[in-house]
Structure 1
Amino acid sequence: MTGCAPLWHPSPNFGPRRNGLRPQLIVLHYTAMASAEAALSRLCDPAHEVSAHYLIGSDGTLWQMVREDMRAWHAGAGEWMGHTDINSRSIGIELDNRGDHPFPDPQMQRLEALLPRIMTRWSIAPEGVIGHSDMAPGRKCDPGPRFDWQRLATLGFARPARRSNAATAATPQSFRKAARACGFTAEVDDATLLEAVRLRYRPWGEGPLCPDDLTPLLD
């Protein structure tokens, strides 16, 4: 898909970034609504006090609701790399999806056209492209287990997961240390942390902590 000019659909739900902060992260969400149009209405309704910078429909239609230099209200409470107020540190992208089905190729292509432009404008590294569930473990689960993070990583638009055939001993302590080094610094219990990391790197993972949960976090 070529081109990435968004349709401007301004939301009143925004404000200035606080304390002189600028975007260091891109946070991906799913809308969990019936349609892109329903999500667009919600994100632009002052009664709901939520917004995002961009919304991408399942057919690849791209809307922009908030200027990138302004603070959209998409992330809420959470923490990443020891930092809070993620709204002031990030650009939010909503994807039209309920979380229970794959993300269509036209939508992914549009996202893949948009991400490098944002990353270049704000000097955001692939490690700065995260999911809502990464910075709000236990509270949020989007963009969910159906989102293809490996596809983004292969293109250089997200942190790649390490792959190794060598077994690595995994304990709650070693797992938490590795997860924190990758950015998962929110104070949550071991089970919630494991669930959040699996959503990002091993959505098919089940059962107790194992070496395959630790391996993707290692450099």
Structure 2
Amino acid sequence: MFINISHKFKSKNFDNRKKKISFIIIHYTETKNLNDAVNLLTSKKRKVSCHYLIDLDGSIYNLVDVNYRAWHAGESKWKRSEDINSRSIGVEIVNPGESSLKKYKKIQILSLIKLLTELKRQFKINDNSILGHSDIAPLRKIDPGKYFPWKTLYQNSIGIWVNEKINDSPLNMTQFNVLMKNLKKIGYPYIKNNKLTQNNKKIINSFHRHHLNRLVDKFPTRASLIKSNDLLKKIFD
């Protein structure tokens, strides 16, 4: 598959990889345009970067060679894996952020699908290792946000998805405990207990952002539990 990738912009914010590439992490830039995104991702002061940047018109830019460790994930984990920067390829999409209520442009998602399809093939990435920043850093990040079309990616053989079985019955404590155990098995980090702590609320929100976005900032329901059960079956079957 031919993908037109520009090398017009380069970031010096990288160092040497210490691990094999096994993840792809998707972000939004939280900027209004390409120029602001490039300034952010090449800034010596901010010390952040990514491997690939997708503009509003679908153009793809390579800012850091994938053989190097771009600084996009920060403090993050997935299952037992730490130093996600060393293990991942970071993809940023120009978007002003979840609070702007602006959805991603179709041309951006089409470009993303082309790029991820090739990266998945080249590096033999597992579908459950194609994640959002909020999945691996749920206590501090919300990107790529609740408007990111994870289902569309799955329909193009990228990532993990199961359809919702609508059931808005509240969870009892036993069911809540099972939900938290399920999220930990799926890979969500920083779950230290099965109580309704502030940290666990953020982790549940990250799960909802990826898999059940209508429940973002809401208490989990039976739909959350059912979906977590179905995801585990899909991942481990």
Query: Taking structure 2 as the reference length, what is the TM-score of the superposition?
Result: 0.85
Percent identical residues? 27
In structure 2, the residue corresponding to 1:82 is in which secondary structure?
coil
Aligned twin of 1:87: 85
Query: Are 2:192 and 1:191 aligned?
Result: no
Gaps of 5+ in 1: none
| Structure 2 gap segments, 5+ residues each | 193-198
Preserved contact between residue 184 and residue 191 of structure 2 (Cα < 8 Å): no
Change (3 A) 1:43 1:162: same
Give 1:211's aligned residue: 222
Judged with a 3 Å threshold, the aligned counterparts in structure 2 of structure 1 residues 134 and 89 are, in CA distance, closer, same or farther, namely same
**Measured at CA, do residues 146 and 167 of structure 1 come closer, stay the same or move farther in structure 2, by a change above 3 Å?**
closer
Aligned to 2:5: 6
Aligned to 2:195: none
In the TM superposition, residue 34 of structure 1 has moved relative to its aligned partner by 2.0
Out of 13, 23, 26, the position equivalent to 1:25 is 23
Question: Once the two structures are superposed, what CA deviation does each residue of 1:59-105 show, in whole Å capped at 9, x if it has no partner?
Answer: 10110011111100000011111211110011000000012311001
Partner secondary structure for residue 43 of structure 1: helix
In the superposition, relative to structure 1, how do residues 89 and 202 fare at CA in structure 2: closer, same or farther (>3 Å)?
A: same
Which residue in 1 is equivalent to 2:210?
A: 200
- CA deviation string 1:123-181 (max 9, x = no partner): 10211110000011120000001111110111111111254468999522111111112
Find the counterpart in structure 1 of residue 136 from structure 2: 135
Alpha-carbon shift at residue 203 of structure 1 (Å) = 1.2
Residue aligned with 1:93, SS: strand
Helix, strand or coil: the match of 1:204?
A: helix
Aligned length: 216
Q: CA deviation at 1:191?
A: 1.2
Aligned partner of 1:137: which letter? P
Equivalent pair of 1:80/1:135 in contact (CA under 8 Å): yes
Instruction: For 2:37, give the aligned amino acid.
Output: A
* 56, 59, 63: which one aligns with 1:58: 56
Checking the alignment, whether the CA contact within 8 Å between 1:50 and 1:74 is kept in structure 2 is yes
The aligned runs of 1:111-150 (5 Å cut-off) are 111-150=112-151
Q: Secondary structure at the match of 2:227?
A: helix
Equivalent residues of 2:41, 2:48 under 8 A apart: yes
**TM-score, normalised to structure 1's length?**
0.92
Q: Which amino acid aligns with 2:182?
A: A
Distance in 2 of aligned mates of 1:167 and 1:131? 25
How much is the aligned-residue C-alpha RMSD, in angstroms?
1.9
Please state if 1:179 is matched with 2:183.
yes
Hey, what's the Cα distance between the residues in 1 that align with 2:123 and 2:203? Answer: 29
Inter-partner Cα distance in structure 2 for 1:71 and 1:175? 34
